[in-house]
Amino acid sequence: MKPSKPARRVPRSRVVTDELSQGTDRETGDQERAARARRSRLMSRVRQRGTTPEIVVRRMLRELGISYRLNVRTLPGTPDIVLTGQKKAIIVHGCFWHRHARCKAASTPKTRVEFWTEKFARNIARDRKARRELNALRYSVMVIWECNTKRSPERDKVLERLVRFTKNN
């Protein structure tokens, strides 16, 4: 006969959550605070620099033997990668935050739709303004989308675009 397994202990966090889910307004407030704290923790992990798509593009540039500078703050919009000698800027956009058209990753959250719609509109306007200002400074600008750095066929196309972009004067 097999020895029986000891009773599984329910984690304290689950007990607290279960207690909160069946209660008063005060408990609901506690839940909301906990949800805000979780969301804040999650959002704090979203990086602005050194993202995986940026690193992929930087590796491609290194393989091509092209030198670059990162996040040049003196230029409008602080482009991710700048080829200073050629006056060229490469901006690597995340599909979600910068609303890549026809991309699955550019979904809108179901909660607080108005907030997110306004936020995304501001992001798009800021991106356009930065590109216009860079063009006014005689910089050529290339935008690379996050989804294009993930899969092999798209990566090859990005590499081809980089080669053309860096060779053209």
**What ranges do the domains of the chain cover?**
12-44, 52-167
Residues 71-124 pLDDT 10s: 999 999 999 999 988 999 999 998 988 899 888 888 888 989 999 999 999 999
What order do you get walking across the sheet with 69-70 strand by strand? 69-70, 81-83, 88-93, 140-145
- Look at domain 52-167 and name its CATH class: alpha beta
Tokens of 160: 């081809």
Contact 146, 105 (CB under 8 A): yes
Name the residue among 62, 101, 104 with its Cα closest to residue 83.
Answer: 62
Give the pLDDT score at 9: 59
Query: Phi, psi (5° rounding) for residue 108?
Result: -105, 130
Q: Are 30 and 19 in contact (CB under 8 A)?
A: no
